[in-house]
Amino acid sequence: MKRIAIEEHCLTDYFLEYLEGRKEYPKLESVVDEEGQRRWRWWDSAGEFTYWLPEFVVNRYSEIGDSRLQYMDEAGVDIQVLSFNYNIDRLNAADALALTRKVNEKMAEAIKKYPDRFVGFTAVAPKDPKASADELERTVKQLGFKGTMILPHVNGEFIDNKKYWPIFERAAKLDVPVYIHPMFPPPERLQPYLEYPDLSGAMWGFGAEAGLAVMRLICSGIFDEYPNLTIILGHLGEAIPFWMWRLDNSMIKAVAHVPKGRRESKDPADIPLVNKLKRLPSEYFRDNFYVTTSGMMWQPALLCSELAIGADRILFAADYPFESSKEMVDFIESSAISEHDKEKVFHLNAERLLKL
């Protein structure tokens, strides 16, 4: 059975060398720990680093060639959709834009060399939304890329802000998806996590940031403005499939609790969502979203997503190099979904969505 993995990350050797060479923050430095193991310390700012990465993870993260292909073959993955998920907006807009263009060219070289094994999502620098939209169009039309990946916020400012809409508008015009990848909460939202730092990452904070960003997008009316806009979410939907009934029910009931004067107000902040949006949250989610299996090897979550949005909206992904591709393949193979639905998840849905 063919398998297309759709959330598989790469920094490229070029970007890794750039980070290593930086003297100011953000930067990446290599250290040897007390056990003699080489690790990479990922600094965002002085006195604070985001996380440690083992050397083998960084090597996999940056390489797009024989080693990655060998790993894919051993895991039974036919195609990886390459994506750049670094928080590039820590840099100034001009540097970020120049770097993402170079990263896209490096990914394009690998795709050209291995056209049957790699597909690309465009790296963009949302600090400059117009330039990011132009770069998306360039890479789709000239390099054959199939979509883009962005993060939930730009230095704390959520992506539902209309200044970022040009990226979504261009994606809708090009008929390519936007993958929203999780990230750490910004400093102003870190306080509740500080007593238990592990919570700020994949354990909770990643999903909390991505899920909130998506709900803000839905509430912003962007899907009424661009009805064919397609969003991809990892981790089987960042818990939103589980919440869909409650989202709808709460939005419908909320209007009854709003004082009549506010219901008739012209202030956008006073208008209940049920009077502001054309559809319910679940309807947008079923029609404008796909979810992937990345980093979520749990049968109840898979079955919940299938029941909530249908097998036609679930895509196979592993979250390389942070999760095991082989374990994810085995998870889907052993799951309780039908053989035909496994075909959809493994490759049919991705082929349809990405026009492969």
CATH of the domain at 266: 3.20.20.140
Cβ contact 151:238 at 8 Å: no
Cβ contact 162:135 at 8 Å: no
Question: Is 337 within the bounds of a domain?
Answer: yes
Q: What pLDDT does 93 receive?
A: 94
The span from the CA of 205 to the CA of 107, in Å, is: 29
The dihedral through the CA atoms of 16, 22, 25, 27 has a sign that is positive
- Per the prediction, the chain carries an average pLDDT of 93
pLDDT at 47 over 70: no
Question: Is 45 within the bounds of a domain?
Answer: no
Q: What pLDDT does 38 receive?
A: 78
Question: Is 51 within the bounds of a domain?
Answer: no
Confidence of residue 16 (pLDDT cuts 50, 70, 90): confident
Count of structural domains, the chain: 1
The percent of residues above 70 in pLDDT, for the chain, comes to 94
Task: Give the tens place of pLDDT for each residue, 307-340.
Answer: 999 999 999 999 999 999 999 999 999 999 999 9
Question: Is 114 within the bounds of a domain?
Answer: yes
Determine whether 78 is an active site residue: no
Cβ contact 66:77 at 8 Å: no
Question: Is 50 within the bounds of a domain?
Answer: no
pLDDT at 186 over 80: yes
Q: What pLDDT does 260 receive?
A: 67
Q: Catalytic pick from 248, 319, 330, 341?
A: 319
| Least trusted range by pLDDT, from 20-29, 148-157, 176-185, 259-268 | 259-268
Question: Is 330 within the bounds of a domain?
Answer: yes
Question: Is 28 within the bounds of a domain?
Answer: no
pLDDT at 48 over 90: no
Range of the domain at 195: 4-11+63-354
Question: Is 17 within the bounds of a domain?
Answer: no
Q: What pLDDT does 37 receive?
A: 78
Q: What pLDDT does 292 receive?
A: 98
E strands within 55-170?
79-83, 118-120, 122-123, 148-150, 153-154, 157-158
Q: What pLDDT does 261 receive?
A: 64
